[in-house]
Amino acid sequence: MADAMLYTLEGDIAVLGAQNPPVNALGLAVRQGLMEGIARAEADGAKALVIYGTGRTYFAGADIREFGKPPMDPYLPDVCLRLEASPLIIVSAMHGTALGGGLEVALSTHYRIAVPSARMGLPEVHLGLIPGAGGTVRLPRVAGVMAALDMVTSGRHVPAAEALDMGVIDRIADGDPREIGIAYARDLIDSGAAPRPVSELPAPEGIDFDAAYAAALAKGRGQLSPAYGVRAVQGACELPFLDALKRERALFSELMETDQRKGMIHAFFSERAVSKLPELEGVAPRDVQALGVIGGGTMGAGIATAALLSGLSVVMLEMSPEAAQAAKDRIAGNLQGALKRGKIDQAGFEHLTEKALTLATEYDALAGADLIIEAVFEEMAVKKEVFRKLDAVAKPGAVLASNTSYLDIDEIASVTSRPADVLGLHFFSPAHVMKLLEVVVGEATAPEVAATGFALGKRLKKIAVRSGVCDGFIGNRILSTYRTAADHMVLDGASPYQIDKVMTDFGFAMGPFAVADLAGLDIGWAVRKRKRAEGLPEGARDSTYVDKLCEDGHFGQKTGTGFYIYEAGKRAGVPNPQVDDLIAAERAEQGITPQDFSDDDILRRYMAAMVNEAAKVVGEGIARRPLDVDMVLLFGYGFPRFNGGPLKWADMVGLEGLLSDIKAYAETDPHFWTPAPLLEQLVAEGRTFDDLNKG
Ligand code: 3HC
Ligand code: NAI
């Protein structure tokens, strides 16, 4: 008997407990243990077999680390068929999360019981896959087509009570999973129950699967797995059981070979690896319970909201009582959203707004704070003034953080007497919603201060990524480069609307020009004015057509007009014809003869700019690993998860082709297109970005 499954016999009930921590993934040893366990229970003359998980969960799915490698016998679908066909009464007793292959095993057993806190689902879709061990064939038989389609295409985790209503499980009972499983098996034996294979249930009536397929493809912005899930469920309705299983397996195997699957599994592991930095291993973070926030505008209010929701107390410091009240109103508005979604109740809302939040206008109020985040105006002089005052009042050991988007953390830290306690905590707007947090580690930042940034990120349920200090840190620096590439393409002949369309077809929720409208065109205008005042570098290209929109008071969504015109009540805009005229005038003024850009030209240039800058960011050590960049773009900039992140995507399309594109672009614009040394090095050595993640 393989050690991964613990076999015991309790009278006429055999019991198999999975022991493959941390999540009882269904790796080879577990599958072997299941096969051996069934045979042994049958040989021992047991009447029933109970399957459960030791530790924190029932099986949380197939072992994802085995994907992409040659499959090893016994295969999970065969294990499922073996379970289903056994003459014993087989009971699954579930706790924790029964996911993917885990739920598929459960559906192959004859009866299912779960503790109230258990959750179950078929999340394969998030790995670029569909269930591959009968989930799409058995689930519609027990829960119906619509429920199955929902679970297969969304991957959502269904709580036990809902699973009971859906018919996915038969019973809920409180207690130890092994004990409730044995008790259920006893009841079944005593009541003369028989094995009950799901395969013997009739196939459900079908629906308009072509429409469901098209809807899934559109909703996933080109992600294949939800749409393939629809086809697999269709097979369950239209084909005999075993043929439907074959159809599911064929679709599963097809997806296994796709870049989307590789991209999404890269995202799964990177999301977990990103906060594990070798340099912070064993470094204890400082304790943080009381937070101070300076500046309660868009960002400060969002940060305070996230902190309050995670149980921290917040002192909010503003410039005047009126501004403090306005900050409180913003926070209360955010918390109203949480109240509406049932994340907090009315009493919780009142506690957070009236007790956990304190308003202040004097710095003394921050004396007790463990960590203070500044989110005042983006001006170095203002930031320095704030940090000087903070230095005077903050208690020893307090962490002092800036939410600056671009400014130099080292320069900010230099005005304090304790630069080791200073770091950047760069949140994204809206800060209580967006998952990304860049932890910006300065030259002098102490390791435990960086660790405290990561601990805070975890507490606020953020994906925290380490960044070094540079203009714009990881994300905004790369954004600014690919935005510039897009601006150059517009000057040279592409339309902003074509570029937006190409990038949404690639999988971004919005294209760069729609994003500019959302953020406010005034922001970019201010940056351009500042850069022109500082003097543009030799050879840099510039354009002023967007300034003309701004001069007329068109700042994008907030004024109703920008690159797009937004009708009241509608989120998506229609192209603004004035923009084409302004661009044409600008080209004429600069003596540019517009050239045609195919969709492929646009995608290649846009992505080449993104990858090249990302490679510079890694090469300079601003990001420690390529996966850090990938997670920044995924969680802060809407990069489509099924493409893995820019550097995983680069690996998949091939670094050599990207480098030769960059070199070709450099022939006409050597200022903008300078190949990243790291990219050149990887191409020369025949290595990939992913190779650097492993080191
Ligand atoms: N295979 C291999 N490793 C897994 C795994 C899996 N299915 N699920 C989790 N792990 C690993 C994680 O990588 C992590 O490793 P680390 O400690 O080295 O970083 C460790 O287990 C703990 O995972 P989490 O940090 O995510 O723990 P949480 O408690 O936060 O979450 C969970 C637990 C909800 C189970 C979450 O890990 C999860 O969602 N796992 C993936 C579940 C899944 O997608 N299952 C379907 C797999 S595909 C499949 O079954 C195909 C089948 O149809 C044939
Ligand atoms: P905002 O203008 O909405 O809010 C700034 C707030 O700071 C105002 O309420 C103002 O009253 C207050 N303030 C200004 N000086 C102060 C002082 N000396 N003491 C106390 N309060 C003071 O600005 P926003 O957008 O919230 O940005 C704040 C910071 O966050 C900036 O550094 C910005 O670069 C950064 N940031 C902004 C993002 C965004 O999308 N808006 C995203 C990430 C970072």
CATH number of this structure's domain 5-257, picked from the four choices 3.30.70.260, 3.50.50.60, 3.40.1000.10, 3.90.226.10: 3.90.226.10
298 Cα to the center of ligand 2, angstroms = 7
Q: Where are the domains of the chain?
A: 5-257, 288-467, 511-585
Residue range 509-526: mean pLDDT, rounded: 92
Cα end-to-end distance, the chain, whole Å? 36
pTM assigned to the model = 0.95
Among the bound ligands, the one closest to the CA of 401: 2
Residue range 408-424: mean pLDDT, rounded: 98
Label residue 2 by pLDDT band (50, 70, 90).
low
Give the pLDDT of residue 570.
78
Give the pLDDT of residue 572.
83
Label residue 682 by pLDDT band (50, 70, 90).
very high
Least confident of 212-221, 279-288, 565-574: 565-574
Residue range 76-101: mean pLDDT, rounded: 98
Please state, in angstroms and rounded to a whole number, the distance separating the CA atoms of residues 24 and 123. 16
Pocket around ligand 1 at a 6 A CB cut-off: 22-23, 25, 60-65, 76, 97, 99-101, 104, 123-124, 127, 131-133, 135, 272
Say which CATH architecture domain 288-467 belongs to. 3-Layer(aba) Sandwich (3.40)
Please state, in angstroms and rounded to a whole number, the distance separating the CA atoms of residues 24 and 15. 16
403 Cα to the center of ligand 2, angstroms = 8
Label residue 560 by pLDDT band (50, 70, 90).
very high
Give the pLDDT of residue 1.
45
Label residue 130 by pLDDT band (50, 70, 90).
very high
Which CATH code fits 511-585? 1.10.1040.10
Strand-pair category, 13-18 with 5-10: antiparallel
Residue range 645-668: mean pLDDT, rounded: 98
Please state, in angstroms and rounded to a whole number, the distance separating the CA atoms of residues 603 and 123. 30
Half-sphere exposure of 508 (CA within 13 A, CB side): 22
Residue range 209-236: mean pLDDT, rounded: 96
In Å, what is the CA distance from 664 to each residue of 360, 395, 485, 654, 660?
A: 57, 56, 14, 16, 6
List 294's β-bridge partners, or say none. 317, 374
Among the bound ligands, the one closest to the CA of 100: 1
Answer left, alpha or beta for residue 543, where phi above 0 means left and psi between -120 and 50 means alpha: beta
Residue range 123-127: mean pLDDT, rounded: 98
pLDDT: which is higher, 470 or 68: 470
382 Cα to the center of ligand 2, angstroms = 10
Mean pLDDT, all residues of the chain: 96
**CA-proximal residue: ligand 1, atom 19 (nearest):** 272
In Å, what is the CA distance from 37 to each residue of 15, 88, 110?
A: 9, 12, 16
Give the pLDDT of residue 526.
87
Pocket of ligand 2, candidates 305, 317, 331, 377: which has the most ligand atoms within 8 Å of its Cβ, to mutate? 377
SS3 label, residue 114 = strand
152 Cα to the center of ligand 2, angstroms = 42
Please state, in angstroms and rounded to a whole number, the distance separating the CA atoms of residues 166 and 146. 11
Please state, in angstroms and rounded to a whole number, the distance separating the CA atoms of residues 35 and 83. 8
- The one-letter amino acid code at 187 reads D
Percent of the chain with pLDDT over 90: 95
